[in-house]
């Protein structure tokens, strides 16, 4: 039994299917997430695949600040992700709303709507920082 559990933790840590959802931001973060998938950084060597489908997702990368319209979409998406799941907020907008924090249509960072596990600062964070962010959240799968 112990071995099965050990194997499960190992598999969860080695196989992370990801989806990124860009909310109201400048889109720079999703470009950097795309760049992290490509040969120079290659997220797939950690078993990270871009699925683009919430039902297959383990890691949700959220970029951009939450506004009154995409709040519902974000909640809806997260409800469709089966547990265990990891939610990573990428970029200043997803952390606090950043430079748009005072704009009339902005509620704030992603943590206003969902429980974020890892915050990756940067405007936008470099692909290396995205990798760091995902890897530092892996402890969540230990339980």
Partner 1 sequence: MNLAKLWVPAAAVIAAPVFGGLIAGIDRKISARLQGRYGPPILQPFYDLYKLFGKDPLAVNRWQPFFAAMYLFGAAASVAWLALGGDLLVLFFLTTFTVGFLVLGASCVPSPFSRAGAGRELLQALVYEPVLILVFAAIFQQTGRWDAAGVWRQGGVLLAQTPLLYLCLFLVLVIKLRKSPFDFSASPHAHQELVRGVLTEYSGPFLAMVELGHWYETALLLMICALFWSSVPGSAILVAATVAGLIFVDNLFPRLTWRWMMARIWLPLPGLALLNLIWLMV
Partner 2 sequence: MTSMLKILLKNGTGRYATRLYPAEAREPFAKNRADLSFDPGCCRLCKTCSRKCPTGAIEVDKENRTWKRDVFSCVFCGDCIEACPKSCLSFVARPPLPQKHHQQAVVYATVPERSKK
Partner 3 sequence: MTVSVIPVGPQHPVFLEPFQLKLVVEDEVVSEALPRFGYVHRGLEALVVSKDFRQMTRVAERICGICSAIHGMTYCRAIEKLLGITPPPRAQMLRLVWSELHRMHSHLLWLGLFAEAMGFESLFMQIFRIRETVMDILEQTTGNRVIISVNVIGGVRRDLDAEGADGIRRALKKVAGDLERIRPVLVDDYSVRKRTEEKGILAKERAYELGAVGPVLRASGISQDIRRTGYGAYGELDFEPVVESGGDCQARCKVRYRELFQSMDLIRSGLDRLSDGEIQTKSKEKPEGEILVRSEQPRGEVVYYIRADGSKHLQRLRIRTPTFANMAALMDLLPGLDLADVPLVTLSLDPCIACTER
Instruction: For residue 128, state whether it binds partner 1 (rule: CB under 8 A).
Output: no
- Cα–Cα distance measured from residue 61 to residue 101, given in angstroms and rounded to the nearest whole number: 20
- x/- contact string, 39-78, with partner 1 (CB under 8 A)? x--x-xxxx-xxxxx-xx-x--------------------
Q: Which does 28 bind (CB under 5 to 8 A by kind): partner 3, partner 2, partner 1, none?
A: partner 3
49-78 residues in contact with partner 3 (CB under 8 A) are 50-54, 64-65, 67, 69-70, 73, 77
**Minimal CA–CA distance to 63: which of 19, 21, 8, 18?**
21
Least separation in angstroms between residue 121's CB and partner 1 is 27
In the 8-state DSSP scheme, what is residue 65? B
Nearer to partner 1, 1 or 45 (CB): 45
Least separation in angstroms between residue 89's CB and partner 3 is 16
**Minimal CA–CA distance to 25: which of 122, 134, 128?**
122
Least separation in angstroms between residue 1's CB and partner 1 is 14
């Amino acid at each position: 039994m112990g071995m099965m559990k050990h194997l499960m933790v190992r598999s969860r840590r080695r196989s992370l299917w990801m989806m990124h959802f860009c909310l109201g931001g400048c889109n720079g973060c999703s470009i950097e997430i795309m760049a992290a998938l490509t040969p120079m950084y290659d997220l797939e060597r950690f078993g990270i695949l871009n699925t683009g489908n919430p039902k297959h997702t383990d890691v949700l990368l959220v970029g951009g600040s939450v506004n009154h319209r995409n709040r519902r979409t974000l909640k809806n998406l997260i409800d469709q992700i089966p547990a265990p799941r990891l939610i990573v907020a990428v970029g200043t907008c997803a952390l606090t709303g950043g430079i748009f924090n005072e704009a009339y249509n902005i509620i704030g960072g992603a943590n206003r709507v969902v429980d974020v596990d890892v915050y990756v600062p940067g405007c936008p964070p470099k692909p290396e920082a995205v990798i760091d962010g995902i890897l530092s959240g892996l402890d969540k799968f230990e339980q």
